Structure 1
Amino acid sequence: MEELPIWLGELPSLKNLHIQYSSGVKELNENMRQLIKLESLELGFCHSISVVPQWLGELTSLKKLWISNNGCLRSLPASIQQLTSLQEIVLFNCDALQHVVAETEGKMKLADNQQRESALPTSLKSLYLTGCDGIKSFPEGIHQLTNLQHLEIISCPGLKEWCELEETKTFLARIEKKRIEF
């Protein structure tokens, strides 16, 4: 399949969408932004998708985002922060992934008394990263994810230094269930 069917966006009541083994699909169709009741989006073995569109932040019912075995994806869009229902992100064997969330242009410098805003939604309860060799750190403000209960970092050697920072150790100490193996 070279592209997803246009009619897919005409299913506004769709709650779960699993797209697998679609190595010819390069992008998610613009009309998919109409899937306003979508709760779970899973992309597996979609090797040609290099960008998850900014409009993903408009899917406000999304609770789970699962991406596996994607060799082209570089980051998730910054609009992911708008997903106040998002509870789980799973990124598995995304070799090209360099940033969990795309860095925003023109970052504002914070005053000493300001807290960094997380680039991930504060509703996030579970974050799983496996085999994402290119990731070296998390977005600024990840320490503000007070609802995060499960964290798995497996076979992501680039995150070893980040995990050894004192600020990170304090953050990791408050997470209920964690598994970290480089």
Structure 2
Amino acid sequence: MLDLSGSTLEVLPRWIGNLKHLRFLDISNCPNIKKLPNSICKLQNLQTLFLDGCDQIEELPKDMRYMISLRFLLLATKQRDLHGHGLQHLKSLRVLAIYGCENLEYLFDGIQKLTSLHTLWIVDCKKLVSLPHGLKYVAALQSLVIGVCEKLDLSTAQELKEKEDYNEDYLVDTGFSLQSLYIADLPKLKALPQWLLRGSANTLKNLTITGCENLTTLAEWHNLTSLEKLEIKCCPKLSTLPKTMKRLKQLKIEDCTLVSQRCQQEIGEDWPKVAHASRIVLDGNTITAPELLINPTP
């Protein structure tokens, strides 16, 4: 284990590649580092690499494909894309988090080759315009977080939208089946696209959407049969909820006037969809499940 986080290092020594048995390397929050030696790619036993907060790194090492044991990778870079580093060959990678990449416009092709990837975070990448086409084929992916990407429009990204308007069965067999989805501060998002929810209709348990000021619909034809927790904040134009949420346990709506009105107890149009939830909070007001009122716990 080697923890260099928060240090004033400007250059990482080349000899770091000689630490052949190193499994954990934390270089996070080192704002003076601009380049990593390619010798770091010799660390074939390395399982965890934290580079988040190193937002001055001009380019990632070119031979990262050889870091065959890497399971957890948190990174930051000034690059416009992540092509040419072999990230798609990291077959052991389970968690990939991309933070604060101010110039990043695109990730990398071949992301579907990351057969062990179960968690993907893409946060504060303000110039990101699209996601890789192969993302919908990452069958192991369980948790997806996308936030503060002001140019990203999931509903119109060409790489992910092709054919979905022509064949409603397209994407069903891709294996894409999330359990948790968190979306925040995507001002261009108007509707959640089919590729994102359709394959996860029977697996998604937690859905959080916040700060999407132009979002108008959650693709209401979806039946989210496994959804247990739904939280929506600061989406003033949102007017619809999924049709069926039979396992819903927790619902929280805040600063979403249209949806709050539709979920009003007994009188709201969408009340029958959510009435069975054990905890409902609308703009700070908690609605207790009727069955708890009838049979209160001693």
Same fold (TM over 0.5): yes
TM-score band, normalised by shorter chain: 0.7 to 0.9
* 5+ long unaligned stretches in structure 1: none
Once the 2 structures are TM-superposed, how far is the Cα of residue 106 of structure 1 from its aligned partner?
5.1
1:125-177, CA deviations, whole angstroms, 9 ceiling, x for partnerless residues? Answer: 11100111111112225244110111100001222x213x6425x54x75211
1:70 maps to 2:133? no
**Which of the pair is proportionally richer in helix?**
1
1:39 maps to 2:90? no
* 5+ long unaligned stretches in structure 2: 1-56, 236-298
Give TM-score, length-normalised by structure 2. 0.53
Contact 1:133/1:158 (8 A) holds in 2: yes
Once the 2 structures are TM-superposed, how far is the Cα of residue 107 of structure 1 from its aligned partner?
5.3
Instruction: Tell me which of 125, 129, 150 is aligned to 2:183.
Output: 129
Higher relative contact order (CA 8 A, sep 6+): 1
For residue 14 of structure 1, what is the aligned residue in structure 2? 70
Contact 2:174/2:199 (8 A) holds in 1: no
Instruction: Quote the RMSD (CA, aligned, Å).
Output: 2.4
Give TM-score, length-normalised by structure 1. 0.83
In 1: Cα distance, 2:137 partner to 2:198 partner: 17
Once the 2 structures are TM-superposed, how far is the Cα of residue 96 of structure 1 from its aligned partner?
0.8
- Please state whether the residue corresponding to 1:54 is helix, strand or coil: coil
**Mean Cα deviation higher: 57-66 or 119-128:** 119-128
In 2: Cα distance, 1:144 partner to 1:32 partner: 25
Return the index of the structure with the highest Cα Rg: 2
Percent of aligned pairs sharing the same letter = 26
1:152 maps to 2:208? yes
Once the 2 structures are TM-superposed, how far is the Cα of residue 3 of structure 1 from its aligned partner?
1.1
Count of residue pairs brought into register by the alignment: 173
Contact 2:72/2:93 (8 A) holds in 1: yes
Contact 1:127/1:152 (8 A) holds in 2: yes
In 1: Cα distance, 2:191 partner to 2:74 partner: 28
Instruction: Tell me which of 154, 159, 168 is aligned to 1:99.
Output: 154
